């Protein structure tokens, strides 16, 4: 049965999508992987498929959750990497959840994925930059969460609140959920404030931080443009994440 991993933090611009996409791609080189785009912006969908999100209209994670069955909505990227896509209409999920759904609202995604877990080794979930229903559903469906940290004051403020939300999900709904680690990413090594925040997070959460720190790289930043296939600079773009994958497998 698949290990389900959420990438999350409620602060935007913290490399959630890049991380979820890159981990999905790298893990899929040796394992069967399902990526789940749970953000209505559909950035993970565009990153992994290199297609417009509207190409998947009516065949997305939203429809899968309404049916509580992912099987008819999975799109094949290659033999070992598949995706549940997202588009703008995913923003209507909370309205449907509170007006039409009568069961435990935190477990819709978990029920949706249940029938496909045996088909994969890993399921990676990208979440929106908010502590809303999509993020709660992701946490309640997961075995582990990778918390993204970008070296900034606002992301530092968000970190404690996100971990509180994780704790709430553990206590109320999903006791098996654990924090795989805090991944310090989008780091600019030239800036002294970046260095200070890196050290501060390690002091605050010494048992949780990944040893690997992801620095800003132009090639990584161009992944949304070039994608993971037929990308001449792919090796350089994903190189920092190989150690993250090793750590992640050991942690989960």
Model pLDDT for residues 132-182, shown as the tens digit of each residue: 999 999 999 999 999 999 888 899 999 999 999 999 999 999 999 999 999
Going by pLDDT thresholds of 50, 70 and 90, the confidence category of residue 215 is confident
Q: What mean pLDDT do residues 81-98 have?
A: 97
> What b/e readout covers 34-65, taking b as 16+ CB neighbours within 10 angstroms?
bbbbbbbbbbbbbbbbbeebeebeebbbbbbb
Note down the domain range covering 22.
Answer: 3-251
Tokens read off for 159: 């970190």
Please choose, from the candidates 95, 106, 99, the residue with its C-alpha nearest in 3D space to the C-alpha of residue 165: 106
Q: What angle do CA 49, 55, 57 make, to 5 degrees?
A: 120
Number of domains, the chain: 1
pLDDT at 54 over 70: yes
What is the value of pTM for the model shown?
A: 0.95
In this prediction, residue 188 carries a pLDDT of: 67
In this prediction, residue 13 carries a pLDDT of: 85
CB of 212 within 8 A of CB of 248? Answer: no
Distance CA 124, CA 118 (A): 14
Q: Any idea what the CATH number is for the domain that residue 190 is in?
A: 3.40.50.300
């Amino acid at each position: 049965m698949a290990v389900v991993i959420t990438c999350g933090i409620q602060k935007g611009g913290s490399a959630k999508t890049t991380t979820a996409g890159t981990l999905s791609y790298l893990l899929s080189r040796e394992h069967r992987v399902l990526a789940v785009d749970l953000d209505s912006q559909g950035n993970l969908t565009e990153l992994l498929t290199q297609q417009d999100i509207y190409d998947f209209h009516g065949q997305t994670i939203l429809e899968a959750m309404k049916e509580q069955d992912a099987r008819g909505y999975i799109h094949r990227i290659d033999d070992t990497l598949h995706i549940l896509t997202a588009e703008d209409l995913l923003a209507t999920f909370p309205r449907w959840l509170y007006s039409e759904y009568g069961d435990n609202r935190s477990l819709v995604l978990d029920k949706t994925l249940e029938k496909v877990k045996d088909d994969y080794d890993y399921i990676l979930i990208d979440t929106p930059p908010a502590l809303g229903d999509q993020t709660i559903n992701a946490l309640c469906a997961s075995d582990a969460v990778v918390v993204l940290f970008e070296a900034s004051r606002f992301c530092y403020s968000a970190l404690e609140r996100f971990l509180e939300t994780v704790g709430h999900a553990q206590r109320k709904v999903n006791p098996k959920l654990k924090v795989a680690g805090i991944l310090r990413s989008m780091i600019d090594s030239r800036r002294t404030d970046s260095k200070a925040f890196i050290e501060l997070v390690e002091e605050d959460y010494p048992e949780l931080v990944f040893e690997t720190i992801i620095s800003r790289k132009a090639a990584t930043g161009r992944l949304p443009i070039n994608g993971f296939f037929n990308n001449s600079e792919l090796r350089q773009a994903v190189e920092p994440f190989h150690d993250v994958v090793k750590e992640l497998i050991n942690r989960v």
